[in-house]
Amino acid sequence: MESPKLTRPFPTGTPPPLPPKNVPATPPRTGSPLTIGPGASSPARPATPLVPCRSTTPPPPPPRPPSRPKLPPGKPGVGDVSRPFSPPIHSSSPPPIAPLARAESTSSISSTNSLSAATTPTVVSEDDVFYDKLPSFERRCETPAGSSRGPSPLTMGAQDTLPVAAAFTETVNAYFKGADPSKCIVKITGEMVLSFPAGITRHFANNPSPAALTFRVINFSRLEHVLPNPQLLCCDNTQNDANTKEFWVNMPNLMTHLKKVSEQKPQATYYNVDMLKYQVSAQGIQSTPLNLAVNWRCEPSSTDLRIDYKYNTDAMTTAVALNNVQFLVPIDGGVTKLQAVLPPAVWNAEQQRILWKIPDISQKSENGGVGSLLARFQLSEGPSKPSPLVVQFTSEGSTLSGCDIELVGAGYRFSLIKKRFAAGKYLADN
């Protein structure tokens, strides 16, 4: 059935006068602006590996501005590592931290596994001193992943600055032995990722000679074993300031790579590109955001477990809360009954393990983030054998390295700088 049409009478009266004939009409706009905005989320990006800086055939660096000295021939990197970061020990690793933006990965840079925002690096390998201390059970932490919006949507003209987002993601791995702080082993790894809106590929197509993207990493002296992306980054090793480090992007390689990814995944909204991977200089237990001490008292008929924890503001540049904190301990010896569990915890009778969940721990928590977890277990096949405590947490808004980033030169702007860290292998033993 055809819907009735609304009729509207023409207005009566004298019509408005026509404009003067000598006034030119407004010319029509030509060209369409480049629109960069949110779209459907793309699949989770796989790891984007990097190869060490010792590559014998480094890509030629892009031309630098005349004001900068030329980079002497040699390696494009600034650091080296004695061995690659260890692969995860368990088949069920902790939930990943959300990537900077819902973007397609830059997985075509190279072929080895990397420490990306979607994977959690670990501290443990077979040559580490506490490899044999790892628990044999799988961790099934239920920490929800975070989220991020990436570069801000905008309509961009040819002369506008291009939006870029940056993210520092760090993983702290620690092993606590009893209550002796001198026996604490700490390793902190991290990565810096840049995120580009998908529409930037159209901008590059219309502007094949864009300005070089140059940035400076602040507090660079706190990093060690730095691995720049050898395909995309160049740096000047003659800089005098040890606390900052300046890098510039090989723009032809970046444009080629982003174009390839956009062709492979045309529905992607953002493209995340791994730029730096690094290790943070750690100072033992002082570098751990949550100090731990575990005490077991094992008898044939019962086991007493005490876990002491302390929130450590000194480990962070900006004191931020630890979120979704979980304490997981397996108890053997045939547990028949739980007594005096404080605070309340979840006991998994099938897997014989106890789990405490604390929404957040910070300076605003009771006693300034200092607390204890207590439990007594009645046994039928005791005594129990002490097992390592496994702790998980995430945090947003700060890093453990204190690193920051700023742009150098014109042509680009940061729409978002995200900082976060999380626990990797975070263990405590009796």
Question: Of 180, 90, 88, which Cα lies nearest the Cα of 135?
Answer: 90
This prediction has a pTM of: 0.66
Residue 85 pLDDT > 90, yes or no?
no
Kindly indicate the confidence band of residue 319, based on its pLDDT and cuts at 50, 70 and 90: very high
Kindly indicate the confidence band of residue 406, based on its pLDDT and cuts at 50, 70 and 90: very high
CATH fold group of domain 162-284+401-428: Immunoglobulin-like (2.60.40)
- Pinpoint the alpha helices (H) of 158-198: none
CATH class of 291-385: mainly beta
Could you give the count of Cα atoms lying within 13 Å of 330 in the half-sphere of its Cβ? 16
pLDDT score at 236: 79
Residues 17 and 15: their CA atoms lie apart, in Å, by 6
Q: 3-state DSSP call for residue 290?
A: strand
**Parallel, antiparallel, or unpaired: how do β-strands 154-156 and 34-36 relate?**
antiparallel
Residue 177 pLDDT > 90, yes or no?
yes
What does the domain layout of the chain look like in residue ranges? 162-284+401-428, 291-385
The tokens describing 348, both together, are 């998994």
Residue 403 pLDDT > 80, yes or no?
yes
User: Which amino acid is residue 347, in one-letter code?
Assistant: W
Q: Do the domains spanning 162-284+401-428 and 291-385 agree at the CATH topology level? A: yes
Cα 68 to chain centroid, rounded: 31
Residue 357 pLDDT > 60, yes or no?
yes
If residue 357 lies in a helix (H) or strand (E), which one and from where to where?
Answer: strand 353-361
- Residue 137 vs residue 230, higher pLDDT: 230
Residues 11 and 305: their CA atoms lie apart, in Å, by 87
Other Cβ atoms closer than 10 A to 371: 16
Mean pLDDT of the chain: 74
pLDDT score at 60: 56
Say if CB 112 and CB 307 are below 8 A apart: no
The tokens describing 339, both together, are 């007594």
Question: Of 232, 228, 216, which Cα lies nearest the Cα of 60?
Answer: 232
Give percent of the chain above pLDDT 90: 53
pLDDT score at 125: 39
- Residue 340 vs residue 416, higher pLDDT: 416
Buried b (16+ CB within 10 A) or exposed e, 129-145: ebeebbbeeebebebee
Residues 402 and 317: their CA atoms lie apart, in Å, by 5
Residue 53 pLDDT > 60, yes or no?
no
pLDDT score at 61: 56
**Parallel, antiparallel, or unpaired: how do β-strands 270-280 and 103-105 relate?**
parallel
Residue 9 burial (C-beta neighbours within 10 Å; 0-12, 13-18, 19+): exposed
The tokens describing 76, both together, are 């494009």
Q: Which residues have a Cβ under 8 Å from the Cβ of 30 and sit 6 or more positions away?
A: none
pLDDT score at 401: 96
Give the lowest-confidence range in 8-12, 127-131, 302-306: 127-131
Residue 360 pLDDT > 60, yes or no?
yes
Q: In this predicted model, what pLDDT tens digit does every residue of 4-44 receive, in sequence order? A: 444 444 444 444 454 444 444 444 443 333 333 333 333 44
Which residue, chain included where needed, has tokens 């309340």? 344
Q: In this predicted model, what pLDDT tens digit does every residue of 132-167 receive, in sequence order? A: 433 332 233 332 333 334 444 444 555 578 999 999
Residues 157 and 150: their CA atoms lie apart, in Å, by 20
Cα 302 to chain centroid, rounded: 42
Buried b (16+ CB within 10 A) or exposed e, 34-49: bebeeeeebeebebbb
pLDDT score at 63: 55
Specify the long-range contacts of residues 95-99, CB closer than 8 Å, at least 24 apart.
Answer: 95/141, 95/142, 95/143, 95/144, 95/145, 96/44, 96/120, 96/145, 97/145, 97/146, 97/169, 97/394, 97/420, 97/422, 98/145, 98/146, 98/147, 98/148, 99/44, 99/45, 99/148, 99/167, 99/193, 99/272
Other Cβ atoms closer than 10 A to 361: 23
Question: Of 199, 195, 193, which Cα lies nearest the Cα of 266?
Answer: 199
Residue 204 pLDDT > 50, yes or no?
yes
Residues 356 and 359: their CA atoms lie apart, in Å, by 10
Q: 3-state DSSP call for residue 158?
A: coil
Cα 399 to chain centroid, rounded: 10
Question: Of 226, 237, 247, which Cα lies nearest the Cα of 405?
Answer: 247
DSSP 73-113: SS-S-S---SSPPBPPSSSSPPPPPPPSSSEEE-TTS-SS-
Residue 64 pLDDT > 80, yes or no?
no
